[in-house]
Chains A and B, each alone.
Chain A
Amino acid sequence: MPPVTPVHYLFLSMALFTIGVIGVLTRRNVIIILISIELIFNAVNINLVAFSSQFASISGQTFAIFVIVAAAAEAAVGLGIIIALFRNKETVNADEIDLMKW
Chain B
Amino acid sequence: MVLHDFFFYILAAIILGGGILTITRRNAVHSAIFLVMTLIGVAGLFLHLQAEFLAAVQVFLYVGGITVLFLFVIMLVNLDEAAKQRQFNRQWGLALGCVLLLVAEVGYFLYQGRDSFSFAESSGVLLQNNTQAIAMSLYGDYLLPFEIASLLLLVAIIGAVVMAKKQI
Q: Which A residues fall within an 8 A CB radius of B?
A: 1, 3-12, 14-23, 25-29, 31-32, 34-36, 38-39, 42, 45-46, 49-50, 52-56, 58-59, 61-62, 64-66, 68-77, 79-84, 86-87, 91-95
Contact = CB atoms under 8 A, between A and B. Distances in A.
Contacts, number: 242
Given A14-B106, A61-B134, A8 B8 contact: yes
Given A54-B119, A61-B54, A65-B138, A3 B31 contact: no
Contact of B22 (A23, A82, A95): A23
Contacts of B12: 8, 12
Contact of B88 (A26, A55, A66, A91): A26
Contacts of B117: 5-7, 10, 54
Residue of B66, B98, B166 contacting most chain A CB atoms (<10 Å): B66
- Sorting the interface of chain B by its residue count into under 10, 10 to 19, 20 to 34 or 35 or more gives 35 or more
A55 B102 contact: no
Contact of A61 (B4, B51, B92): B51
Interface of B, secondary structure class, is helix
Given A31-B28, A62-B134, A72-B156, A39 B66 contact: no
B51 A49 contact: yes
Contacts of A45: 42, 46, 54, 58
A19 B89 CA distance: 16
A46 B31 contact: no
A23 B23 contact: yes
Given A61-B137, A69-B153, 7 more contacts: A19-B23, A22-B23, A22-B95, A35-B35, A46-B45, A61-B130, A65-B54
